[in-house]
Amino acid sequence: MDQLLQEHYHLVIYSVFFVSSVIFSFLMNNLFLRFFKTLGIRNNNDGTIIRWGALSKPAVGGISFYILFLLSVACYSVFFSPSQVFYNTKFIGLLLSMALGFIVGLADDAYDTKPFLKFFVQFSCGAIMIATGIRIEIFEWEALNILFTLFWVVGIMNSINMLDNMDGITTTVSIGIVICAMIIILTNADFENMHLIILVGVLSSLLTFLWFNWNPSRMYMGDTGSQFLGAFLAAIGIMYFWNDHYVGAIISPARQFIIAIMCFILPVIDTTVVVYNRVSNGKSPFVGGKDHTTHSLAYLGLSDRQVALCFMGLSIISTICIFVIENYITEWSHLYTAIFGIYFLSLLVFFFNATRKAAQKRGQSDKKVAGIT
């Protein structure tokens, strides 16, 4: 009876918090649109800023992500255990790294900071996580765990930032990753997990922002949103995808690798394809361009909305896969590694070929415009 009442208590708390967060986030984004119309809109006289859309729009959506994150922390300390917030080293590390990601993103939207500064902050976010105990633990050698954690944090922060190149893409992909983490927590009935209410808060901010960011969008999340989300999702990935320490969990490096890759499959594939194509063509992988996997689908005939729906569908497939792994696969085997590995490689090859075909089509169009036969 007491357990039933406790479960109802959690359900009421999370439901009320989710609905309240959606309403609050909606009102907040409307206010941002009204009073911060120029944030993130930069002068592009030198041609260095490359955007898919032709219209300039305020990059204010990411601010709501961070505010909802902080409100979630405050709500947890009120309804559950404040000691878990203020006396938990890992949680302090999470707070500090999220603050750094948000600040550098906001600075970049406002002042267009140098790439080195962003890289330094991304590295610092990883270092803070490692110092406070948030690290990947799949290797026997601790040095490898530390190096791989740094690579993961910097890589994911850049991947999420790079994926923010078309209306609704990063938002839908991030929603899928957040839901995957919630599935892992809820599968283990860990209702008082401090990260669960934060995931609910961030999810509500993403769902609300999607209303404003769906094509044709009214605002962007900007680097404020993508840098915060990159740091947040990287940390969540470490704690719930790479490291599964729940009682009865099957600790297998192959299993944890597959879970992490399945959750982040779209950012990983997009970054891998873009970096490879740019380096192979003698271009810098750090300079923006219209050569992403999303752009290739658009060049091949899909509308912006259809591209977003395609990525949404792939995110749903990943979410279903995580649900199946967590609830129905009790003993990991090489067969499962092969099945999910083939799925990943198939998508990688598909998008790689799509970018090549799109590049050829774009080249032919450029020749026609230039009058070359």
Per-residue pLDDT tens for 21-63? 999 999 999 998 887 766 555 544 433 344 555 566 788 889 9
* Mean pLDDT, rounded, for 216-239: 94
Structure tokens at 348: 């990688």
What range defines the domain where residue 267 resides?
A: 2-41+49-370
Q: Look at residue 239 and tell me whether its pLDDT is greater than 90.
A: yes
- The pLDDT of residue 17 is 92
Q: Find the DSSP H helices in the chain.
A: 2-35, 61-79, 82-86, 89-111, 115-131, 142-163, 169-187, 194-213, 222-237, 253-263, 265-280, 293-299, 304-328, 334-370
The packing angle between helices 142-163 and 169-187, to 10°, is 140
Least confident of 91-95, 262-266, 339-343, 355-359: 355-359
Q: How far apart are alpha carbons 7 and 129 in whole angstroms?
A: 32
SS3 at position 296: helix
Which of residues 327 and 53 earns the better pLDDT score?
A: 327
Banded model confidence at residue 5, pLDDT cuts 50, 70, 90: low
Least confident of 37-41, 53-57, 111-115, 220-224: 37-41
Q: How far apart are alpha carbons 128 and 147 in whole angstroms?
A: 13
Q: How far apart are alpha carbons 57 and 229 in whole angstroms?
A: 20
Structure tokens at 99: 């603050």
Banded model confidence at residue 165, pLDDT cuts 50, 70, 90: confident
- The pLDDT of residue 371 is 52
Give the pLDDT confidence of 332-357 residue by residue, as tens digits.
999 999 999 999 999 999 999 999 99
Q: Look at residue 367 and tell me whether its pLDDT is greater than 80.
A: no
* Mean pLDDT, rounded, for 231-236: 98
CA 362 to chain centre: 29
CB 136, CB 242: distance < 8 Å? yes
Banded model confidence at residue 79, pLDDT cuts 50, 70, 90: confident
- The pLDDT of residue 115 is 84
Residue 139: C-alpha distances to residues 51, 136, 258, 331 (Å) = 40, 8, 15, 20
Residue 201: C-alpha distances to residues 14, 196, 197, 205, 225 (Å) = 9, 9, 6, 6, 14
Structure tokens at 317: 């497939």
* Mean pLDDT, rounded, for 68-93: 83
Q: Look at residue 365 and tell me whether its pLDDT is greater than 70.
A: no
Q: How far apart are alpha carbons 48 and 288 in whole angstroms?
A: 8
- Report the chain's mean pLDDT, rounded to a whole number: 87
Verify cis geometry, omega within 30 degrees of 0, for the bond prior to 216: yes
Structural domain count, the chain:
1
194: Cα within 13 Å, side-chain hemisphere: 20
CB under 8 Å to 359, separation ≥6 — which residues?
277, 291, 296
Q: Look at residue 102 and tell me whether its pLDDT is greater than 60.
A: yes
